[in-house]
């Protein structure tokens, strides 16, 4: 079985995008610390913002802009991948459940999935609508 060849420039784009996304995530965590048993705003905002960015940029890059080998890995895999964090959400949900905050966990899970889906849909729709206007 042959391994896929790696493009060093694509890896650099992912790395640089990941740096940007991780710094944004750290800034959110620092600005909005979460107390145990409370709504984890930093993770929620990061995940919703990442879904919004992903919906906007992936749709725009795929449907509106000339093909580029590095924009999508930079933004989609790098920035959005490092900004959003499904694993942190899972840990927060387990912590909520473990401390007896089942209703909060349920609300947080539903709001995260719902707001993420709405964000992707809204952003993609706005890009497509702008294409129709022109």
Give me the residue label for tokens 């800034």. Answer: 27
Q: Is the pLDDT of residue 2 over 90?
A: no
Are residues 28 and 46 in contact, defined by beta-carbon separation less than 8 angstroms? Answer: yes
Q: What is the mean pLDDT of residues 112-127?
A: 96
Which tops the pLDDT comparison, 13 or 1?
Answer: 13
Per-residue pLDDT band at 1 (split at 50, 70, 90):
confident
Is the whole-model pTM more than 0.75? yes
pLDDT digits (tens, 9 = 90+) for 15-55: 999 999 999 999 999 999 998 889 999 999 999 999 999 99
What is the distance between the alpha carbons of residues 78 and 112, in angstroms, rounded to a whole number? 21
Give the chain's length.
Answer: 134
Nearest to 118 by CA among 73, 54, 71: 54
- Per-residue confidence (pLDDT) for residue 80, from 0 to 100: 94
Above 70 in pLDDT, residue 94? yes
């Amino acid at each position: 079985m042959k391994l896929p060849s790696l493009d060093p420039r694509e890896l650099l784009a992912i790395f640089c995008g990941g740096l940007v996304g991780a710094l944004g995530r750290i800034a959110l965590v620092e600005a909005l610390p979460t107390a145990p048993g409370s709504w984890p705003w930093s993770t929620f905002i990061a995940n919703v913002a990442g879904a919004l960015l992903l919906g906007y940029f992936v749709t725009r890059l795929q449907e509106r802009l000339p093909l580029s080998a590095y924009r999508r890995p930079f933004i989609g895999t790098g920035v959005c991948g490092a900004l959003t964090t499904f694993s942190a959400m899972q840990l927060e949900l387990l912590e909520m459940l473990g401390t007896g905050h089942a209703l909060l966990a349920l609300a947080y899970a539903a709001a995260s999935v719902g707001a993420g889906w709405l964000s992707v849909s809204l952003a993609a729709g706005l890009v497509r609508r702008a294409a129709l206007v022109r």
